C-alpha cells in the first residue's frame, strides 16, 4: 500500500484524529490488512501517537495485522446459527482447508474467521465468503461450496 493512497484516505476525513477508526477501516477494506508502514503513516498524518493507533488496530475485530488470503471466509457463530448446528459447519471447514479461525493458509488462498451474527438468522447456519452469503449450510455441502474458489 503506497503512502499516496493512505494520504488520500486521510484527506477524505480532513485529517481529523477522531476519524482514526474510519481511516483504518478504509485501509483495511482496500488492502485487506494493515501493514506496519501504513499504521506509521496514519499516525504521522493524523498526528496521533503510534501506541494509540496500535491500540485501535488490536482492539477492534475488523482489523488484521497480518496478510489475508484471497478469499475471506466468515462463519457465523451467533446464537441462532449455534443452535442450528454452526459449530459442526465450522469443524468441517477447518478440516477441509486445514486452518483455524484467525489463520490464513500458506498459499494465501483462504482466511478463516468466526463472527457473532451476520443478521441472516433465518438462513442459519450462515457463512459469508468474500461478502457473498451462503445460507442453510450443512457440513456435507462445504466441500462443494469451497471448490468454487481458487
Partner 1 sequence: MARLQTPAELEELRKQILSTRDPNKPCITLCSGSACNASGSREVAAALEEEIAKQGLTTDVDIRKTGCHGYCERGPIIVIHPEKIAYFQIKPEDVPEIITETIQGKKVVERLLYTDPATDEKIVHEHDIPFYKNQERIVFGSNSSVDPKSIDDYLAIGGYSALAKALSAMTPEGVLQEVKKANLRGRGGGGFPAGVKWEGTRNAADPIKYVIVNADEGDPGAYMDRSLLEGNPHAVLEGLTIGAYAVGAHEGYIYVRQEYPLAVENVFTAIRQAEEHGLLGENILGTGFNFKVIIHQGAGAFVCGESTALMTALEGRAGEPRPKYIRSNIVGLWGRPSVLNNVETWANVPLIINKGADWFTAIGTETSKGTKIFSLVGKITNTGLVEVPMGTPLRDIIFKIGGGIPGGKKFKAVQTGGPSGGCLPEELLDLPVGFDELTKAGSMMGSGGMIVMDEDTCMPDVARYFLEFLTDESCGKCVPCREGMRQMLKLLTNITKGKGKEGDIELLEQL
Residue 125, preceding peptide bond in cis (omega within 30° of 0): yes
- Chain-centroid distance of CA 98 in Å reads 18
Indicate the residue among 116 and 141 with the shorter CB distance to partner 1: 116
Residues 78, 126: Cα–Cα separation, whole Å: 9
Minimum Å gap between C-beta 106 and partner 1 is 26
Q: Which residues contact 105 (CB under 8 A, 6 or more apart)?
A: 69, 97, 98, 99, 111
DSSP-assigned states of every residue in 23-56:
HHHHHHHHHSS--HHHHHHHHHHHT--HHHHHHH
User: Is the Cβ of residue 104 or residue 134 nearer to partner 1 in the bound state?
Assistant: 134
Are residues 112 and 94 in contact, defined by beta-carbon separation less than 8 angstroms?
yes
Q: Given the complex with partner 1, which of 41 and 134 has the nearer CB atom?
A: 134
Q: Whole-number minimum distance, CB 121 to partner 1, in Å?
A: 4
Q: Which residues bind partner 1 (CB under 8 A)?
A: 17-22, 24-25, 48, 52, 55-56, 59-63, 77-84, 115-124, 126, 131, 133-135
Smallest distance from the beta carbon of 10 to partner 1, in angstroms? 13
Closest approach, Cβ 18 to partner 1, in A, equals 4
50 versus 98: smaller Cβ distance to partner 1: 50
Amino acid at each position: 500500500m503506497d503512502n499516496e493512497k493512505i494520504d488520500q484516505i486521510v484527506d477524505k476525513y480532513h485529517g481529523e484524529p477522531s476519524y482514526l477508526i474510519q481511516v483504518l477501516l478504509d485501509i483495511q477494506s482496500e488492502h485487506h490488512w494493515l501493514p506496519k508502514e501504513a499504521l506509521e503513516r496514519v499516525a504521522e498524518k493524523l498526528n496521533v501517537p503510534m501506541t494509540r493507533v496500535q491500540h485501535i488496530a488490536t482492539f477492534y475485530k475488523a482489523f488484521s495485522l497480518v496478510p489475508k488470503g484471497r478469499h475471506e471466509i466468515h462463519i457465523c457463530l451467533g446464537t441462532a446459527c449455534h443452535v442450528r448446528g454452526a459449530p459442526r459447519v465450522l469443524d468441517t471447514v477447518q478440516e477441509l482447508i486445514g486452518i483455524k479461525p484467525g489463520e490464513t493458509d500458506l498459499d494465501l488462498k483462504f482466511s478463516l474467521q468466526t463472527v457473532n451474527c451476520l443478521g441472516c438468522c433465518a438462513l442459519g447456519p450462515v457463512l459469508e465468503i468474500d461478502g457473498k452469503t451462503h445460507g442453510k449450510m450443512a457440513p456435507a455441502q462445504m466441500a462443494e461450496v469451497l471448490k468454487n474458489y481458487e
